[in-house]
Chains A and B, each alone.
Chain A
Amino acid sequence: MMKDQKKQGQEQQPEYPLPIQGIVDLIGPEKPKGQKVSPGQPKLTPQEYKQISDKYLTKPTVLKNCLWAFGVGGIICAIGQIIQNTLIYYGVNAATASGTTTIIMVFLGAFLTGLGIYDDIGKRAGAGSIVPITGFSNSMVAPAMEFKREGFVFGIGAKLFVIAGPVLVYGICASVLIGVIRYFLK
């Protein structure tokens, strides 16, 4: 009887009596064919469950996060600008000042990571502290610190780019692509 019902793909009754006709009893006969549900989980589909669980999700604090990212990102950039202007003020030429500023900012990011401060900034600032070059520095130093216990080759050597790697791969790919487009547009 059960098999016939399954074939017809109709609503099925479990083999044992359910005291309550709730949705939670996840044990029972299999779903009719054609529905994408793992075996043994019939009464509540993932879609139905998502509707229930979404009710209880904590709403992300988007506005607050944006303000933090804007503020912290802005401050980091302002610091970079101050360094650059100071260098130019003291007679460094513009190109050298730009490179030197980058080096100093990378150092600052690494230094704050080493002191265990950068992750506390990142917790609040999100993209505000990931996007600037200090964030890139953080994404290199954090794995280096983390994986040094696994040795210099398979630890630091192999894991150094675990976060920054994708950024480099797709960053370089994108720049090559744009370079090619620019060449033909010229």
Chain B
Amino acid sequence: MQSKIRGKQTIAFESPPVVLSSATVVGPMEGAGPLASKFHTVLTDTLDGEKSWERTESKMLKDAIKSTITQANLMEADINFLLAGDLLNQITASNYAARDLPISFLGLYGACSNMALSLFLGSVLIDGGFAERVVAAASSHHDTAERQYRFPTEQGVQRPLTAQWTVTGAGATLLSRQGTGVKITYATPGKVIDLGVSDPNNMGAAMAPAVADTIIRHFQDLGSTPADYDLIISGDLGQIGLNITKDLVSQGGYQLNNYTDCGILVYDDTQDVHSGGSGCGCSAVVINAHILRELQAKRLKKVLFIGSGALLSPTLTQQGESIPSIGHAVVLEAPL
């Protein structure tokens, strides 16, 4: 059998998995943003009738997963594996969502890179012949993240301008070995890189080197250039992280002129989020609601999506540790 590895760390899928359907559930603030019309479900409040935000996040994730399955006219029994992750301690949003689903479950943690990570691993399972259909999903909730990582939500604190706003959103993608639709053709899982940024209010700067490294490595492994892609999009670097990544990648010899970030697309300037959106849900909802549709409609042909994750915890941050980060890339291609 021919090896599927290209260069150092890029995988070329021999029979690229196909995206059969995708679904998103977002909170009211995301529903008031520039992508409002693209989301599948918009909640009217952040609790949505549940008694805690943690339960709401789980429910959002579960609803997104169920919705992808229904959209593809399939049953839960048709899905071999569910791969999901979130930001909460012990990835409880995913665990509790999976509790109510009769699907073999693989819980993932790659911080905010979970959507790219689950797409990548799901594709590996399918291309490797280990699964027929998998659902890849990720979620985050602004209020669950705030209370875990920062302050109580009603605390009157001033956020620095480098800070980002955790997206309330869940996204799920149904990948299949057979069918027609957007294909996942390559993946470049990244390395953990830490260049000493220890400010949890500046995660864009913490994650930028990891994303830049994965982007450059992807180009080097495949001998491709930014011009080979219609769009290069990172997960949740925000405006600051995006600018740094552009700089680093250009110092690596590649000019990124067709590059943007999910954290920039998900909110507009009037929403006062400072550097942009963040969280697993950020890339999960932008990719599933927007980018996959653009690919399906063939307005975009080939997209390089790099999920970015800051692998920090409040404990380690308080102990003065810097923030290790990671970037996982997958290539999404429009159907022929």
Contact surface of A with B, Cβ cutoff 8 Å:
16, 19-20, 22-27, 38, 40-41, 44, 46-47, 49-50, 52-53, 55-61, 65, 113-114, 116, 118-126, 129-130, 135, 138-139, 141-143, 145-147, 149, 162-163
Contact = CB atoms under 8 A, between A and B. Distances in A.
Contacts of B142: none
B290 interface: no
A99 to B, nearest CB: 24
B202 A57 contact: yes
Interface in B209-266: 209, 212-213, 216-217, 220, 239-240, 243-244, 247-249, 251-253
Nearest to A52: B247
Contacts of B212: 24
B153 interface: yes
Given A53-B205, A56-B244, A149-B51, A119 B153 contact: yes
Contacts of A143: 152, 155
B152 A26 contact: no
B156 A61 contact: no
B249 A130 contact: no
Interface of B: 8, 51-52, 147, 151-162, 191, 193-197, 202, 205, 208-209, 212-213, 216-217, 220, 239-240, 243-244, 247-249, 251-253, 274-275, 322
Contacts of B244: 52-53, 56
A116 B202 CA distance: 26
Contact of A60 (B8, B160, B209, B275): B160
A123 to B, nearest CB: 6
A147 B151 CA distance: 11
Contacts of A163: 151-152, 155
A94 B78 CA distance: 76
A47 B195 CA distance: 8
Contacts of A16: 8
Given A27-B191, A60-B161, A149-B51, 12 more contacts: A24-B248, A24-B251, A26-B193, A26-B213, A27-B8, A41-B193, A118-B156, A123-B157, A138-B154, A138-B156, A141-B154, A146-B153
A116 B155 CA distance: 9
Contacts of B162: 57-58
Nearest to B272: A123
Contact of A50 (B51, B196, B217, B248): B196
19 contacts: A24-B252, A25-B252, A26-B213, A27-B8, A27-B191, A50-B197, A52-B247, A53-B240, A53-B244, A58-B275, A61-B161, A122-B158, A143-B155, A147-B147, A147-B152, A149-B51, A149-B52, A163-B151, A163-B152
B150 to A, nearest CB: 11
B247 A56 contact: yes
B251 A129 contact: no
Contacts of A50: 196-197
A113 B103 CA distance: 43
A119 B157 CA distance: 7
A19 B220 contact: yes
Nearest to A115: B154
A145 B156 contact: no
Contact of B147 (A52, A120, A146): A146
A16 B220 CA distance: 11
A126 B158 contact: yes
A126 B155 CA distance: 11
A119 B155 contact: yes
A121 B274 contact: no
Centre residue among A26, A55, A138 by max chain B CB count within 10 A? A26
Contacts of B151: 142, 163
B161 A58 contact: yes
A151 to B, nearest CB: 12
B251 A113 contact: no
Contacts of B193: 26, 41
Nearest to A54: B205
A33 B157 CA distance: 42
Contacts of B220: 19
Nearest to A126: B158
Given A40-B191, A149-B52, A122 B248 contact: no
Contact of A53 (B160, B208, B216): B208
Contacts of B274: 58
Contacts of A20: 252-253
A57 B240 contact: yes
The 4 A-B pairs with the shortest beta carbon distances in the complex, nearest first, are A122-B156, A46-B196, A20-B253, A146-B152
